[in-house]
Chains A and B, each alone.
Chain A
Amino acid sequence: MNFEWTEEQNAFRQRLRDFIARNVPEDWERFAEHGPGSPALTEFAREFCGTLAEDDLLTPHWPVEIGGLGLDPWHQTILAEEMWSAGEPRGGQYMNVNWIGPTLMKYGSEEHKARYLPGITSGQALWCQGFSEPGSGSDLASLRTRAEPVGESYRINGQKVWTSYAGLAETCFLLCRTGEDRKRGISILLVPMDTPGITVREIPSIIGRGDIHEVFFDDVEVPLSARLGEEGQAWEIIAYSLTNERLGIPRYALARAALERAVSILSERGDFADDAVRIAAAQVASLCEAARLANYALIDRRAKGETVGAEASSARFATIMAERRVAEFVAEQLPEALAGTHPFLKMHHQRGIVAGIAAGAAEIQLNIVASDVLQLPREPR
């Protein structure tokens, strides 16, 4: 057991820090107050990710054949930690490099790879994920948006909701029903968002502009070749994708960065001598460390080629606890930050609310831990 970074890994981290310092604008912190899906940040992210790609820093963990450097999951982690600690200047594109790209690599047709991977590896693509529906949140398998084969096409009818980035995304990773079986009746379609019949409406949110939407599909037609994998294979594919997603976002790093910022602000103005505040800050730091190490234990296994299963849910719950405690600490000790005097802390607070909800609710993670890690008997359905 060894908890040290190698010199090469430290150099990689430093290279990222230098890159971020060079490529985010001087007023970045105030700028990052725009929601992650806002027009301003989406436009900025295209430029930022384009430059990242030119420096081989957008998808260095991808295989060499499709534009990566073949670096290991530790490098992916270092990359993600530095980006999240800086307030995620990649905007919605983190999703592409974390799991949409890898999922297309594993399950996509040659046509899919040729059509979609270049946009992702050059930092220009923006995707949204059409998962949740008004009647299907945690119970995702109950979804009702339907795709019916009509000749050489699928005709899609239904509604998605709470869809991030849908306002500006070019492509939707859409789950829809092609059969009656709860899970084996679901398929994935890759749907261009400019296809006639799609209507997007933004829902105002705590996260900020442009993040949450509802998306309506009225007789939307896409070719059969838009299907990812086989008909009915969606559940298997998204299980793979979500494991990547659950490990892909190092919210503990942004949470720790926010805590350090809050402590530094409190110290500067002489408000960090109070024993109660210091104790609270240390409690929060211990949760951030616990989350970081729980994630590292899984990244280590992935780096060794092992499959990471239900423990990903455990690490994610640890991250949620850390994320929330940091947000609470800031709201209690520095409430003026949420009024806007410290945009970085406000931004952290806004994005933190997503932690226990997106990519599978916290309670679902606990169910997975109970059944598959602790091996407790399952609850009756």
Chain B
Amino acid sequence: MDLSLSSDQRTILDALDAMLRPWESAPIHDAPLFASDDALEAALAEAGFLQVTADPDLGTVTAALVIERLARLPYAVEAAASALIGPLLGDDPAGPICLVDTRQWRRPVRYLRENARVVVLEDAGVSAFTASAGQFRAEPKALFAYPVASLHELPDALEPLPIDPAQLRARWQVGLAAECAGLLAGALASTAAHVSDRQQFGRPLATFQAIRHRLAEAHVRINGAYWLAMSAAAGCDPGQAALAALHAAETARMCTYDFHQFLGAMGMTLEHPLHLWTYRLKLLAGELGGAAGHARSAADALWGPAEG
């Protein structure tokens, strides 16, 4: 056991922090439903932060650290699939990588656009296609704080990929867990800043125990989500990955309305950036069957498939 960052990891996160400075603050002028920036995507690609998994000295834990750090930003940028699943694909797709679970193919797909590489998970196997314009419709008015699009249907012609579906599911779950941990941390920081600042009844909202206890409990859960994500990233073991995604999805569900609640009416506006984290969480919390889906995967991995 050594749970501190290695010197390589420290160096990478420091460099990432330095690069991310222009995107630390939410865009305030146009109060968008979601924030994305091509310049951020380009800077990430150019600096190679999403290629850390391929380096044997860095690997999947470093990828999870990068994903978690990026998710703290108010800006959405595709990182989890590129960093964790990209290396399994064997080619180097130019655009983002999208993930589709055939059981839930109607769900809005994050970052789906023309030329995106779409990886399709079925129990029987993994396949892929490159998205063309006629296959999906963009959903610019979706409430989720990601750029999303919906497939008209699952394409018939899919290219089979030599990837173990259990491994794809585990890496998807590790990515979900790490991204949720970062989003939760960002949302908590934003909420804590508000309740420390906002005065009612002559004192900061944060001095009321009804609020501080729930925020403290949120911290406990989010801290657990972070460590579960990192431990799951270390081996991409299906059981640990499912537990990590399960804990992240449950924590997302428990925290998001609380955080908006503590902002009062401000939490309903787009002027405050809280939704840029929480409405990403809402989409992530349901992927792969949501908490119940992850729980089923975890039970199968830990105790064997259901019999009888």
Contacts and interface: CB of A to CB of B under 8 A. Distances in A.
Interface of A: 1-5, 9, 74, 263, 267, 270, 272-275, 278-283, 285-287, 289-291, 293-294, 296-297, 299-301, 304, 311, 314, 317-318, 321, 363, 365-367, 369-371, 373-380
Contacts, number: 172
A329 to B, nearest CB: 13
B212 to A, nearest CB: 4
A104 to B, nearest CB: 29
Interface string B208-242: 11001101110111011101101100110000101
Given A282-B243, A300-B1, A370-B216, A376 B299 contact: no
6 contacts: A1-B3, A1-B230, A2-B234, A314-B216, A317-B220, A376-B206
A1 B207 contact: no
B235 to A, nearest CB: 8
A366 B216 contact: yes
Contact of B208 (A3, A9, A293, A379): A379
Given A1-B9, A1-B230, A279-B292, A373 B219 contact: yes
The interface centre, meaning the residue of B212, B240, B307 with most chain A CB atoms within 10 A of its CB, is B212
Chain B's interface: helix, strand, loop or mixed, by majority? helix
A275 B3 contact: no
B228 A283 contact: no
A282 B298 contact: yes
Nearest to B298: A282
Given A294-B223, A366-B216, 13 more contacts: A1-B2, A1-B230, A3-B230, A267-B303, A282-B294, A293-B227, A314-B223, A317-B220, A369-B219, A370-B206, A376-B212, A378-B207, A379-B209
B302 interface: yes
Interface of B: 1-6, 9, 61, 65, 188, 192, 195-196, 203-204, 206-209, 212-213, 215-217, 219-221, 223-225, 227-228, 230-231, 234-235, 240, 242-244, 246-247, 250, 291-292, 294-296, 298-299, 302-303, 306-308
A377 B234 contact: no
A314 B213 CA distance: 11
Contact of A3 (B212, B234, B250, B295): B234
B225 to A, nearest CB: 7
Question: Majority SS of interface residues in chain A?
Answer: helix
B296 A283 contact: no
Contact of B306 (A3, A275, A286): A275
A290 B244 CA distance: 8
A278 B296 contact: yes
What are the 9 A-B residue pairs with the smallest beta carbon separation, nearest first? A290-B224, A293-B227, A370-B212, A282-B295, A369-B216, A278-B299, A376-B206, A300-B3, A282-B298
A293 B219 contact: no
Contact of A377 (B1, B204, B299): B204
Nearest to A277: B299
Contacts of A275: 296, 306
Nearest to A378: B207
Given A304-B4, A380-B203, A297 B308 contact: no
Contacts of A280: 295
Contacts of B299: 278-279, 281-282
A290 B219 contact: no
B112 to A, nearest CB: 30
A300 B9 CA distance: 17
Nearest to A368: B216
Given A279-B296, A300-B1, A380 B224 contact: no
A3 B231 contact: yes
Nearest to A311: B223
B216 A273 contact: no
A290 B9 CA distance: 23
A274 to B, nearest CB: 8
Given A272-B306, A282-B243, A374 B219 contact: yes
Contacts of A283: 246, 250, 291, 295
Given A2-B234, A286-B247, A370-B216, A291 B224 contact: yes
Contacts of B298: 282, 285-286
Nearest to A288: B243
A291 B306 CA distance: 27
B301 to A, nearest CB: 9
A112 B217 CA distance: 40
Contacts of A286: 228, 243-244, 246-247, 250, 295, 298
Q: Which of B195, B240, B243, B291 has the most CB of A within 10 A?
A: B243
A317 B254 CA distance: 16
